[in-house]
Structure 1
């Protein structure tokens, strides 16, 4: 099962605020032996958000959508989700109960807009202030505030996907290669061989250049099942030594 994230907000694209969701969702998934497959950043554009949700709903991925579920005019995610689902927005009874419990005698129609969601969804509880998000078809819509959103994501993972946790524990190992032939194009044939010999592993190569431009490094490694990773790394080591390339284990 693939996990994705949609991170929404004009303020992120303009640079007024720095995204704090990408690193956190990757961390929360990794803690549970899972991996983020993709992430998409979008502004507060109802048409674009609806198009992205239409694609992700059709793909069947588990998706966490951050931001845009408030009640101000620039919050477009609730409306976009309704468009993608082909339903109207309605006041969700469970959301209404949570919001009324939160505000008590200070409740009003504007605050109840916070519980107006696409028809047929379920709520995602918000332990921070009881203003819920909503979920439908493995899509979880949470606020843009990290202190609210991240516990809500953890709740969804632990409530509905615990059977996937650490099902196939993975390890990652890599060499740091240096020397005249330690650039990607010179090692392309080796990489292709590793991919062919170990199709269930994820190979990665990350080149870097020193600040003065004089030294090249290549981080070359694989991720996957422990025994296969060790076999692949032994194969890589044998070949880079044959080619006279200096190596060390990546710290």
Structure 2
């Protein structure tokens, strides 16, 4: 049987405001949900400051390791919006005001294209634009790196534009099983089931409800047969543990 190609991705969040806690990131979860839904595995998330060596190093490390990289933040009009310049440096290409980007900014009613606003039209040479249906200022794609805004509403609009251009893989299926037991009651047998079914991943997520400590188990796999078999094994194990504890 042919093994399906697994498409992978990383998210690079850029901005001092994220690291200081001043701005609470809303994009990582959105991108993670979106990627899972289209069959791309999010493998890594990094957060770096508005510093050239950190951004360039992260872009180069991630683009070499994963199928796609998605960045958020740092493409606005202020002095610390240096993402575009850093991505250009990472790829070893020049950067300048892109006529296509300038034309998009000119479509904004009442827009005065001063020096600061023209920074949003600086695009690395050879990059494709990512349309911004919210505020016109585009993101861009160069190689396997997609550079998007940090403002959640704009970032989400850019994801819509990106989607048709991406290679995707088979989607991961999942089953959530309420255990009705504490993690400590099921940790050992759950580990044995995980070893017996290497084609699945089993996550254990404790929480508290009105009855006290409880656990949700999530079984995930691209292999439907393996998912069903592992789910049955988990449910049988839970029944057995409940019976033992009730004695």
Going from structure 1 to structure 2, the CA distance change for 1:184 and 1:245 (only over 3 Å counts) comes to farther
- TM-score, reference length from structure 1: 0.81
Residue 61 of structure 1: aligned partner: 67
Aligned residues: 237
Q: SS at 2:218's partner residue?
A: strand
Matched, 1:188 2:195: no
Counterparts of 1:87-106 in structure 2, within 5 Å, are 87-102=93-108, 106=112
Matched, 1:227 2:193: no
Residue 237 of structure 1: aligned partner: 235
Aligned-pair distance for 1:41?
A: 1.6
Distance (Å, rounded) in 1 between the aligned partners of 2:182 and 2:96: 63
Going from structure 1 to structure 2, the CA distance change for 1:203 and 1:124 (only over 3 Å counts) comes to same
Aligned-pair distance for 1:237?
A: 2.7
Q: Deviations over 1:20-47 (max 9, x none)?
A: 1012112323443444332222221221
Residue 201 of structure 2: aligned partner: 202
Q: Which runs of 5+ in 1 are unaligned?
A: none
Matched, 1:45 2:51: yes
Q: SS at 1:40's partner residue?
A: strand
Going from structure 1 to structure 2, the CA distance change for 1:128 and 1:187 (only over 3 Å counts) comes to closer
Distance (Å, rounded) in 1 between the aligned partners of 2:10 and 2:123: 21
Q: CA RMSD in A?
A: 2.8
Residue 114 of structure 2: aligned partner: 108
Q: Deviations over 1:190-225 (max 9, x none)?
A: 332233xxx2x22222344x489x954343331123
Q: Which runs of 5+ in 2 are unaligned?
A: 1-6
Q: Contact 2:36/2:172 (CA < 8 Å) preserved in 1?
A: no
Residue 154 of structure 1: aligned partner: 160
Distance (Å, rounded) in 2 between the aligned partners of 1:142 and 1:181: 43
Distance (Å, rounded) in 2 between the aligned partners of 1:31 and 1:64: 16
Q: Contact 1:6/1:39 (CA < 8 Å) preserved in 2?
A: yes
Counterparts of 1:21-32 in structure 2, within 5 Å, are 21-32=27-38
Q: SS at 1:106's partner residue?
A: coil
Aligned-pair distance for 1:52?
A: 0.6
- TM-score, reference length from structure 2: 0.82
Aligned-pair distance for 1:243?
A: 4.5
Q: Deviations over 1:83-109 (max 9, x none)?
A: 211122222221122223336773334
Q: Contact 1:64/1:153 (CA < 8 Å) preserved in 2?
A: no
Distance (Å, rounded) in 2 between the aligned partners of 1:235 and 1:185: 14
Distance (Å, rounded) in 1 between the aligned partners of 2:184 and 2:117: 63
